[in-house]
Structure 1
Amino acid sequence: MLIQLGDSFASGEGAGWRGNTSVGSGDRQGTDEAARFDSLTGKWTYRPETHVYEPNTYRESDGWWGANPCHRARHAPITYAKGAADRVVNLACSGAQSKHIWSANAGGVEQHSGLKTQLDQLRDAIFPTDDVAMVAITVGGNDISIPAYDKPGFGELVIQCMAAYVHTYFQDGYGEQWCKDEIESGAGNAISDVFYNTLKTIDQVQGALAAEGQPVGSYKLLLTGYPSITPTKWAEWSSASETGHWSDRCPVRRFDSTYINNHVVSRLNDAIQAAAEERGVGFVNMEDVFKGHRLCETDTHRGSLPAQEPQYAEWVRYLDIDVNSVNPVFEGARAKLFGSDPDEKRSKALGSQRSIAESFHPNTWGQKALGTCMKTYYNNDPINSLQRCFIGGVGPYEIPDTMVTSAIAPKTTVTDNPSGSVSIGAPLVRTLTVPANVEAGHYFQWLPNLSHQRKGQLRIEITAPNGSVIRLKDYSANDTGAWANGPWTRNYTEDPSGTWTLRIWDSDLSSYNGSLDSWSLKLF
Structure 2
Amino acid sequence: MVRKTVLGGLLVAILAAALMVPASAEASPPPGDPVVVSLGDSYISGTAGRWAGNSDDFLFDRGGTDRAWSRQKGELFGDSDPALIYAKTASSGCFRSDSAPIASAVRAGLKGRAVNLACSGAHAANVLRASEGGVGMRGEKPQNDQLAALARTSRVKLVVLSIGGNDLSFPEVAFRCIRAYTLRDDPCRTEQQRLLDVRLPAMGAAVGAVLDDVHATLAGSGYARGDYRLILQSYPAPLPSASEDKYDGHWRAFKWTGGRCPFTDPDLTWTAKELTPTITSTLRRTAQRHGATFLDLSNAFDGHELCADGTTHPKGSPTSADVEWVRFVDYTGQGEYAESLHPNYYGQRALGICLAKAAAVRGDSTCTATPEKGLAGLRLRTP
Q: How far does the alpha carbon of each residue in 1:269-321 deviate from its partner, in whole angstroms, 9 at most, with x for none?
A: 11110011112321111111111011011111113247x11101011111112
Give the alignment of 1:377-456 within 5 angstroms.
Answer: 377-379=358-360, 381-382=361-362, 385-391=363-369, 398-408=373-383
Give the counterpart letter for 1:406 in structure 2: R
Q: Following the alignment from structure 1 to structure 2, what is the Cα–Cα distance between the partners of residues 136 and 121?
A: 14
- Contact in 1 for aligned 2:110/2:356 (Cα 8 Å): no
Secondary structure of residue in 2 paired with 1:133: strand
Give the counterpart letter for 1:54 in structure 2: A
Q: 1:272 aligns with which of 280, 283, 291?
A: 283
Q: How far does the alpha carbon of each residue in 1:345-398 deviate from its partner, in whole angstroms, 9 at most, with x for none?
A: xxxxxxx1111111111111100111100000112x11xx12110126x75xx1
Following TM superposition, by how much is the alpha carbon of 1:402 offset from its aligned partner in structure 2, in angstroms? 3.8
Q: 1:246 aligns with which of 245, 252, 256?
A: 256
Q: Does 1:11 align with 2:45?
A: yes
Q: Does 1:228 align with 2:247?
A: no
Q: How far does the alpha carbon of each residue in 1:469-512 deviate from its partner, in whole angstroms, 9 at most, with x for none?
A: xxxxxxxxxxxxxxxxxxxxxxxxxxxxxxxxxxxxxxxxxxxx
Structure with the higher fraction of residues in strand conformation: 1
Secondary structure of residue in 2 paired with 1:388: strand
Q: 2:163 aligns with which of 125, 139, 159?
A: 139
Give the alignment of 1:465-484 within 5 angstroms.
Answer: none
- Contact in 1 for aligned 2:86/2:92 (Cα 8 Å): no
Q: How does the TM-score come out when normalised to structure 1?
A: 0.63
Q: Following the alignment from structure 2 to structure 1, what is the Cα–Cα distance between the partners of residues 135 and 251?
A: 40
Q: Does 1:53 align with 2:86?
A: yes
Partner of 2:224: 215
Structure with the higher fraction of residues in helix conformation: 2
Q: How far does the alpha carbon of each residue in 1:444-469 deviate from its partner, in whole angstroms, 9 at most, with x for none?
A: xxxxxxxxxxxxxxxxxxxxxxxxxx
Give the counterpart letter for 1:159 in structure 2: F
Q: 1:321 aligns with which of 313, 320, 331?
A: 331
Partner of 1:80: 104
Partner of 2:298: 287
Following TM superposition, by how much is the alpha carbon of 1:42 offset from its aligned partner in structure 2, in angstroms? 2.9
Q: Following the alignment from structure 2 to structure 1, what is the Cα–Cα distance between the partners of residues 255 and 325?
A: 17
Partner of 1:125: 150
Q: How far does the alpha carbon of each residue in 1:88-145 deviate from its partner, in whole angstroms, 9 at most, with x for none?
A: 1111011111111001111212233x321111122233334x222210000011111x
Give the counterpart letter for 2:329 in structure 1: L
- Contact in 2 for aligned 1:110/1:116 (Cα 8 Å): yes
Q: How far does the alpha carbon of each residue in 1:402-441 deviate from its partner, in whole angstroms, 9 at most, with x for none?
A: 4221113xxxxxxxxxxxxxxxxxxxxxxxxxxxxxxxxx
Partner of 1:162: 178
- Contact in 1 for aligned 2:57/2:315 (Cα 8 Å): no
Give the alignment of 1:33-52 within 5 angstroms.
Answer: 33-49=67-83, 51-52=84-85
Partner of 2:93: 69
Q: Does 1:30 align with 2:64?
A: yes
Give the counterpart letter for 1:105 in structure 2: S
Q: Does 1:368 align with 2:343?
A: no
Following TM superposition, by how much is the alpha carbon of 1:22 offset from its aligned partner in structure 2, in angstroms? 1.0
- Contact in 1 for aligned 2:105/2:352 (Cα 8 Å): yes
Following TM superposition, by how much is the alpha carbon of 1:235 offset from its aligned partner in structure 2, in angstroms? 4.2
Partner of 1:310: 320
Cα distance, 1:136–1:142 mapped onto 2, change above 3 Å = same
Q: Following the alignment from structure 1 to structure 2, what is the Cα–Cα distance between the partners of residues 93 and 296?
A: 27
- Pick 1 or 2: higher relative contact order, CA cutoff 8 A, min separation 6: 2
Q: Following the alignment from structure 1 to structure 2, what is the Cα–Cα distance between the partners of residues 288 and 300?
A: 16
- Contact in 1 for aligned 2:47/2:120 (Cα 8 Å): yes
- Count of residue pairs brought into register by the alignment: 345
- Contact in 1 for aligned 2:306/2:326 (Cα 8 Å): yes
Q: Following the alignment from structure 1 to structure 2, what is the Cα–Cα distance between the partners of residues 190 and 263?
A: 15
Cα distance, 1:304–1:86 mapped onto 2, change above 3 Å = same
Q: Following the alignment from structure 2 to structure 1, what is the Cα–Cα distance between the partners of residues 293 and 286?
A: 10
Partner of 1:480: none
Cα distance, 1:303–1:193 mapped onto 2, change above 3 Å = same
Computed over aligned residues only, the root mean square deviation of the Cα atoms, in angstroms, reads 1.8
Unaligned runs of 5+ in 1: 57-65, 145-152, 169-175, 323-351, 409-524
- Contact in 1 for aligned 2:204/2:286 (Cα 8 Å): yes
- Contact in 1 for aligned 2:238/2:301 (Cα 8 Å): yes
Following TM superposition, by how much is the alpha carbon of 1:181 offset from its aligned partner in structure 2, in angstroms? 2.1
- Contact in 2 for aligned 1:238/1:299 (Cα 8 Å): no
Q: Does 1:102 align with 2:120?
A: no
Q: Following the alignment from structure 1 to structure 2, what is the Cα–Cα distance between the partners of residues 81 and 68?
A: 22
Give the alignment of 1:177-196 within 5 angstroms.
Answer: 177-196=186-205
Secondary structure of residue in 1 paired with 2:295: strand
Cα distance, 1:239–1:44 mapped onto 2, change above 3 Å = farther
Following TM superposition, by how much is the alpha carbon of 1:40 offset from its aligned partner in structure 2, in angstroms? 2.8
Q: 2:311 aligns with which of 300, 306, 309?
A: 300
Partner of 1:475: none
- Contact in 1 for aligned 2:36/2:115 (Cα 8 Å): yes
Q: Following the alignment from structure 1 to structure 2, what is the Cα–Cα distance between the partners of residues 311 and 15?
A: 17
Give the counterpart letter for 2:141 in structure 1: K
- Contact in 2 for aligned 1:68/1:115 (Cα 8 Å): no
- Contact in 2 for aligned 1:23/1:303 (Cα 8 Å): no
- Contact in 2 for aligned 1:180/1:256 (Cα 8 Å): yes
Secondary structure of residue in 2 paired with 1:246: helix
Q: Following the alignment from structure 2 to structure 1, what is the Cα–Cα distance between the partners of residues 351 and 265?
A: 25
Give the counterpart letter for 1:177 in structure 2: D
Cα distance, 1:85–1:188 mapped onto 2, change above 3 Å = closer
